[in-house]
Structure 1
Amino acid sequence: MTRSHLSQLAVLAAVAQNGSFRGAARELGIAPSAVSHAVSNLESSLGVRLLSRTTRSIAPTEAGARLLERLRPALSEIDRALETAIEARDVPAGNLRLTVPRTAAYLVLAPKLGAFAKAYPDIMLDLVIEDRFTDVVAGGFDAGVRLGESLQRDMIAVRIGPAIRGAVVGAPSYFEKMPRPQHPRDLIQHRCLRFRFSSGVIYRWEFEKDGEEIELPVEGPLVVGEDRLIVQAAMDGAGLAFIFEDYVKDAIADGGLLRVLEDWCPPFDGFHVYYPSRRQMRPALRAFVDFFRAGK
């Protein structure tokens, strides 16, 4: 590999990420013609077409996709090496890229993001919101945030949020027509508002009491991948919602929603930030962990 190949590969990755030469040019701070020239020279030297170009879009070819899949972790390591050099000043700085589920972003991170930005102005926090579990190494992330129960054993995990509970709730208008369920299996007779993960999997409602665990594939009039839409539909009387307690505590307090099956919804482990145990911890990540650590 020549030195020119390294810069050309970085340009190729930017084009693939942005889906256009112009977007890559803006990101890299160079002219679109320079981007096109770099990709063309790379394709010519390798003897294979890496990008499929149409008048409307640019996408990797099969060969380009395979190259980018192998290339992405290497470019991420180069970025980290440069950021480590910057952080030699003993000031947390540089890009910090995290994969975070939507619920953790809203309930745990959002209330403190402004304060974090003020405390660490040299850190550029890049949050990728996705519900599926992500391999932080393969995805080029510094760390991720997930529920403690879903983490792999080879990860270091630090809790950044309190214990959380689920809550089954419905509007008073719904219970004017339907009886309150006394047992999770009573939900089979109810209209339930269901959550779809980004993977396409629909959440099966889970309950536990006195050592008995129940998992139900409930049915109902709505399937959606956004918690706040489910809460609104429940408040409008469309059916029962099974939602994190923090999303509905105010509605429960003011009587807009009524809670049922509370004794079947015990608290469980909250959100953790996780990162590979074999990777040296960057100052920027340490600053993030210390700032959001539970109990602070």
Structure 2
Amino acid sequence: MTRTNVNDLLAFLAVARERSFTRAAAQLGVSQSALSHTVRGLEERLGLRLLTRTTRSVAPTEAGERLLRNVGPRFAEIDAELSALTALRETPAGTVRITTGEHAAQTVLWPALAKLLPRYPDIKVELVVDYGLTDIVAERYDAGVRLGEQVARDMIAVRIGPEMRMAVVGAPGYFAARGKPKLPQDLTEHNCINLRLPTYGGIYAWEFEKRGRAMKVRVDGQLVFNTGLLRMNAVLAGLGLAYIPDDLVKRELADGRLIRVLADWCAPFAGYHLYYPSRRQPTPAFAVLVEALRYRK
């Protein structure tokens, strides 16, 4: 393959990922017309249309999606290897991209980064909060954060947090008016604050376990959120019961603003893990970040 062919593929990949000639041209440092001409030349040589163009949008065709899916990660691996070679210097440097959920970002990643980054001014970290099961290779992330049982087997997983427990909590005023559930199934009679996560394909079912007996309860209520902050506001206002990681409500439980129920049904489970492809050669910056995040009892 000639150098021109490689550049043409890189041009197509940039447009396909950005879904925009304007953004791709800015990323590559070329004009839109030159970029459009390059991609059209590639299509003509292949005899296939790779992009569908309208006045408002650009999207890969079926052939374009296949090329993006199969060739894109290989270029990313080449880029990672070259970055690893050029990053071999005394001070770790470069950008590390991580996809994570909001709770992990607040409770695990941020405390570690606040200590790490002042010591390594040449390291940049991009945190993207996303509740979906992101394909970190296809989306060009260096790593992702998930609960231990959700990490794919072909990934390297590094534990970065302690075991976790969930808590069912409500405001004193709510319990005064509605009473307290004694069993998980009693929650179906209560006004519960729901959480919608793409990871679970919709409304998250509350999970419980006691003496080896596990169950999921699909609760109902007036409110559905996709973020923890709003759930906290709602439960503190007495608008229902919430199912929240217990580390987020310790202060409210201690000062009496919230009351916990069904604690004996909320068993500990595997905490957060950082995961990344086993084939990827880590850069010095990434290696430093992994060690800073690694959980130590």
- TM-score (ref. length: structure 2): 0.90
Q: Which runs of 5+ in 1 are unaligned?
A: none
- Matched residue of 1:214: which SS? strand
Please show how residues 154-169 of structure 1 align to structure 2 within 5 Å. 154-169=154-169
* Equivalent pair of 1:166/1:243 in contact (CA under 8 Å): yes
Counterpart check, 1:214 vs 2:215: yes
Task: Report deviation, 1:83.
Answer: 0.7
- Matched residue of 1:246: which SS? helix
Task: Report deviation, 1:279.
Answer: 4.1
Could you tell which deviates more after superposition, 166-175 or 244-253?
244-253
Amino acid at match of 1:113: L
- Matched residue of 2:264: which SS? helix
Counterpart check, 1:96 vs 2:85: no
Cα RMSD (Å) of the superposition?
A: 2.2
**Which 4+ stretches in 1 moved above 4 angstroms?**
none
Counterpart check, 1:16 vs 2:16: yes
Change (3 A) 1:276 1:259: same
* Equivalent pair of 1:196/1:203 in contact (CA under 8 Å): yes
Q: Deviations over 1:236-294 (max 9, x none)?
A: 22211001112222222332222111222232221111233454443222111111122
* Equivalent pair of 1:100/1:127 in contact (CA under 8 Å): yes
* Equivalent pair of 1:130/1:198 in contact (CA under 8 Å): no
* Equivalent pair of 2:81/2:281 in contact (CA under 8 Å): no
Amino acid at match of 1:127: L
Residue 170 of structure 1 corresponds to which residue in structure 2?
A: 170
Residue 115 of structure 1 corresponds to which residue in structure 2?
A: 115
Count of paired positions: 296
Residue 232 of structure 2 corresponds to which residue in structure 1?
A: 231
Amino acid at match of 1:45: R
Could you tell which deviates more after superposition, 286-295 or 143-152?
143-152
Amino acid at match of 1:25: A
Please show how residues 1-296 of structure 1 align to structure 2 within 5 Å. 1-199=1-199, 200-295=201-296
Q: Which runs of 5+ in 2 are unaligned?
A: none
Task: Report deviation, 1:111.
Answer: 2.7
* Equivalent pair of 1:72/1:140 in contact (CA under 8 Å): no
- TM-score (ref. length: structure 1): 0.90
Could you tell which deviates more after superposition, 191-200 or 130-139?
130-139
Give the fraction of aligned pairs with identical amino acids, expressed as a percent: 50
CA distance in 1, matches of 2:35, 2:103: 38
CA distance in 1, matches of 2:42, 2:254: 62
Amino acid at match of 1:77: E
CA distance in 2, matches of 1:47, 1:102: 45
